[in-house]
Amino acid sequence: MSAKQSPSNETEKLDTQRVPYASVVGSLIYAMVCTRPNIAHVVGTVSRFLSNLGREHWNAVRWILRYLRGTTCLKLCFGGNMPTLMGYTDCDIGGDIDSRRSASGYVIKFAGGVVTWQSKLQKCVALSTTEAKFIALQKHARSFLG
C-alpha cells in the first residue's frame, strides 16, 4: 500500500467518495481491538489512507472482509494446565513504501489466550533487519516491563 495509489485526478476522487471506506475501516478496527489481533497489521496499514484513498486501498479493505468471512471459526481462547505468560515480537524491514520505516508488533499470551497485542510503524528508519528487530525488541520490552 502506498500513497502513490491515491487518486490523481478529479474523476478518481469522485469515484472513491462514494465508497464507505472510513466506516468499514472503523468497523475493522473494532473487530481487531475486540477479538481479532491477527488483522492488526493490515488494518493499521489501510487506516493510513482514510483521507486520501484510492481504488487499491478499497480493494485491500474488501480483501480483509473476505478473509474475516472465511475465518469466522477463529476465536480467542484461554486454557491450558499452566498459567504461563508468553511474549512474541517481530518486525519487517522498510515495510512502509512511502516512509521506508519498518513495522513492528508484539503479542502477549496468558494461559494460552492473547491478552494484548500491537502493530505499528517504528519511529526511525532501520538500515538492516538486525537493527529493525533490535528496535522492535527494545521498544516492546520497555512497553510491557515498565
124 and 92 part of one domain = yes
15 and 51 part of one domain = yes
In a domain, 100, yes or no: yes
Q: With 70 as the cut, is the pLDDT of residue 117 above it? A: yes
* Amino acid 137: pLDDT: 72
Please give the helix or strand (H or E) that residue 67 lies within, else none: helix 55-70
Domain count, the chain: 2
55 and 111 part of one domain = no
95 and 130 part of one domain = yes
Which percentage of the chain shows pLDDT scores above 70? 73
In a domain, 75, yes or no: no
Boundary (domain end) residue, out of 70, 102, 119 = 70
CB atoms within 10 A of CB 106: 21
* Amino acid 36: pLDDT: 82
Task: Return the minimum-mean-pLDDT range out of 19-23, 33-37, 67-71, 127-131.
Answer: 127-131
Domain that holds residue 64: 3-70
CB atoms within 10 A of CB 19: 15
13 and 58 part of one domain = yes
Range list of β-strands (E), 17-131:
85-91, 103-110, 113-121
* Amino acid 19: pLDDT: 79
Boundary (domain end) residue, out of 70, 105, 125 = 70
In a domain, 32, yes or no: yes
Q: Whole-number mean pLDDT of the chain?
A: 77
57 and 24 part of one domain = yes
What is this structure's pTM?
A: 0.60
Q: Of 123, 85, 86, whose CA–CA distance to 104 is shortest?
A: 123
Boundary (domain end) residue, out of 21, 36, 70 = 70
23-61 burial, b at 16+ Cβ within 10 Å, e below that, comes to: ebbeebbeebeeebbebbbbbbbbbbbeeebbeebbebb
66 and 15 part of one domain = yes
Q: Of 117, 122, 144, 142, whose CA–CA distance to 133 is shortest?
A: 122
Question: With contact defined as beta carbons under 8 Å apart, do 68 and 30 qualify?
Answer: no
In a domain, 124, yes or no: yes
40 and 89 part of one domain = no
* Amino acid 40: pLDDT: 83
